[in-house]
Chain A
Amino acid sequence: MTSMRTVALTLAAAAAALAFVAAPAQARTTQAELKEGGWAFESPLGRFDQAQLQRGYKVYAEVCSSCHSMNLMYYRNLCQQGGPFYDPKHPNPNEAPVCKAIAADIKVPDIDPDTGDATERPATPADHFKAPYANEAAARAGNGGALPPDLSVMARAREGGANYIYSLLQGYKDEPHGLTVPDGKYYNIYYPGDLGSAWSGPKDKVPVGGFISMPFQLVEGRVTFDDGTKSTTDQMAKDVAAFLAWAAEPKAEERKQTGLAVMAYLILFAGVLFLSYKRIWRNVEH
């Protein structure tokens, strides 16, 4: 039995070491410590707040989507189980009236089957989110040379995830005296960067953060929430971060729910096997 304890301890230590080693080392870039969103969905069994996802989608649709694509998302995703507009009365997301209505308001490019000419038609839930620009060159041309990244998996593609998005969107501060902000760039304390070359103050007091091409967006009251929630910068940033966290892995809730059942099964099964082991080995001295 001591060997079992040692093996178990080793596995636990190895798992802890893995988690530690896997955390990537800091590069020379700096950023301010991220704000915590206090998300309900972060815990092992946590779920998304559907009202928050609806508000977050509205922020995306009315603000972010004018520059950022979400090419991996379909309108039907919004009405699937766990989504912002899921309604148990309409389990088939392609038939859900909310998603049909959201899609119908958007014109997507198509080919006229009779003439072959480029045309436009109202979107359906089966269409993916319409991208704001036709291609990368158009996106750069519209944004002073910078490319607004696709947001489909943004919450999984940055250290800090939802906290990073939540912080970044409200990380625009007046630059400290001695920092020269280049034209077309904005100082953001949460954007990872190395500001040493733009800093004329003391060398050991380089400000944290970086220069980002996106200007501050979420001014108070920019989006009017349908549920009456007060539209503060913090609220909009928090809600859109939650929406992007959901969009980055729409199956996260299903994953955690399944995991709970899997764990319960495995622990019971391990118990049964351990008792069988004790019984089978009861007459063997070892």
Chain B
Amino acid sequence: MSGHSTYEPKTGFERWLDARLPIVRIAYDSAIDFPTPKNLNYWWTFGGILAVCLMTQIVTGVILAMHYVPNGDMAFNSVEHIMRDVNYGWMIRYIHANGASMFFLAVYIHIARGLYFGSYKAPREVLWLLGCVIYLLMMATGFMGYVLPWGQMSFAGAVVITNLFSAFDQVIPGLGTAITTWLWGGFAVGNATLNRFFALHYLLPFMIAGVVGLHIWALHVTGNNNPTGVPVKSKADTVPFHPYYTVKDGFAIVVFFILFAWFVFFAPEALGHTDNQIPANPLVTPAHIVPEWYFLPFYAMLRAVPQKLFGVLTMFGAIGLLFAVPWLDRSPVRSMRYRPTARWFFVLLVLATLGLGWCGGMEPDDVVIRTGQTANGDPTGFTVTWLARILTTYYYAYFLLVLPLLSRNEKPSKVPDSISTPVLSGGGAALPAGAAAEPQKKG
């Protein structure tokens, strides 16, 4: 989509079409001849994996919508009808339900790869921002999709998440209530809510597909980042996308499918919750409301803050921070391979996020480190809430303190001259003398 096109129409029809709508040229330039750094590792295969995840979700979702009934009285049974009576309905539904988990697993790896290798830095800020928008749309879609089977956890989830907005009553009295009433389409979560969630759950994936188009467009303007973070300097640094990366991505996608299929066929409800097999009943609240695993870190942040409005802001802020990363990290070295200090803080960030996920699945008052017990024999000590507070603080500190401060103070290790250098010299052990990076200057 940018740079010099090498496409040469070969047949008469291709020449005719190319003069009128150069669609084959665009496809050729972006998926066949596209020059791609030759040192991309397997972490880079998750972009292709995510594209396949999105297509899988849309195809299975459209088929499910042919059988699903978005009505409070019929939704639960219509899902079971799909499981029992529709030909291969069980497979389509399990692919769709587990596909959401696989989609989020892949997107978290994709985001972590971008954070580690500095893929958000100039000139890829817009590419990164578009990715953040996709992630937000995914979260909205995933949440509304989980509501549709209209089980107990679907219903409780819808109540909890929509009620978050009532926190805005603390800003302007009545504002939060007005927002929640508007979201619900009534005065409680009910049939109107289910219907609009279904409409939006069907709409948003196509918006995601649109933003994915922009994301790929932006990728093809700047080209891929790569594990060294060093820009492409010559043709020797790249290979054409096809067949080199079609085959590598293809292999990775099929390996990913093996994991995916294991969940679909042998543990289809391992990631679900038994309470969601009980039809929604507004009069009975589940003993322990938990979101799907991919929201647990944010759920833990929400509960870690005692004040509701600030809890909500903390949770949304954690995603908001991602949008600001390109301007928080000013280090000119992209890849953390050459940032010996930053990489350890990054490892801690991953551990903190996983820890928050664990906290989100526990009860807030559960004791992590036991120091004593009450008269009833219940343990007392360091609770999940406090662990979540520490981890949330670290999460924020990584973006707001660590990245900005390291940009000034860190001494990076030697960055290779070009992508080909570490390859040809065996992993960058013997770099030419001139390749040593200057200690970083302020600014």
Contact = CB atoms under 8 A, between A and B. Distances in A.
Given A44-B266, A270-B255, A277-B248, A285 B83 contact: no
A214 to B, nearest CB: 17
A48 B426 CA distance: 56
Contact of A27 (B257, B269, B288): B288
13 contacts: A10-B109, A14-B109, A15-B259, A21-B358, A24-B288, A28-B363, A71-B77, A149-B278, A196-B376, A204-B373, A204-B375, A255-B94, A267-B258
Given A4-B42, A24-B290, A203-B377, A72 B84 contact: yes
A7 B274 contact: no
Interface stretch (B130-138, B239-247, B326-334, B403-411): B239-247
Contact of A157 (B264, B268, B275): B275
Interface in A73-132: 77
Contacts of B377: 203-205
Main secondary structure of the interface of A (DSSP, over half): helix
A193 to B, nearest CB: 11
A281 B248 CA distance: 9
A8 B277 contact: no
A256 B265 contact: yes
A28 B251 CA distance: 47
A153 interface: yes
Interface of B: 38-39, 41-43, 45, 77, 80, 83-84, 90-91, 94, 101, 105, 109, 227, 239, 243-244, 247-248, 250-252, 254-259, 261-275, 277-278, 287-288, 290, 293, 296, 354, 357-358, 360-363, 366, 373, 375-377, 420, 423-424
B243 A269 contact: no
Given A27-B287, A72-B84, A251-B83, A281 B244 contact: yes
A284 B244 contact: yes
A21 B376 contact: no
B38 A284 contact: yes
Interface of A: 3-4, 6-8, 10-11, 14-15, 17-19, 21-29, 44, 71-72, 77, 149, 152-153, 156-159, 196, 203-206, 248-251, 254-256, 258-260, 262-263, 266-267, 269-270, 273-274, 276-277, 280-281, 284-286
Contacts of A28: 363
Given A22-B270, A263-B261, 4 more contacts: A21-B360, A77-B84, A259-B261, A269-B254
B266 A256 contact: yes
B101 A273 contact: no
